[in-house]
Copies of this chain bind each other. A is one copy, B any other.
Amino acid sequence: MTNNICKQITIITESALEHRLTDDIQRLGAHGYTITNARGKGHRGVRNADWSTSSNIRVEVVCGASVAIAITEHFKEHYFENYAMILFTSDVEVMRSEKF
């Protein structure tokens, strides 16, 4: 149970992508993800969540640096062109990092 510096990736995007993204996230090596429903405004106009088909999701992944690069590059290549998506990363200190 040591602390480790990991990457936190936050992705805000269309909820219709949820299953594709979570499949990708796991296949690319992350051990978990957290999703919350969100609403907001971005590049492509106002979106209202509350489980409508046009809602947004906020996906969080905490993982090692190499997995973070793999996820980021994959999303950049496959989604950024055709979907409303924001992705940003930061460093976090993870307790019980063996879970990630």
Contacts and interface: CB of A to CB of B under 8 A. Distances in A.
A6 B39 contact: no
16 contacts: A1-B76, A8-B88, A10-B92, A32-B42, A32-B43, A34-B39, A34-B56, A34-B58, A36-B37, A42-B99, A43-B99, A58-B60, A72-B95, A80-B95, A85-B96, A90-B91
Interface residues of A, number: 43
Interface string A74-90: 01100010000111111
Kindly report how many copies of this chain are found in the complex they form together.
3
A51 to B, nearest CB: 8
Nearest to A30: B41
Contacts of A70: none
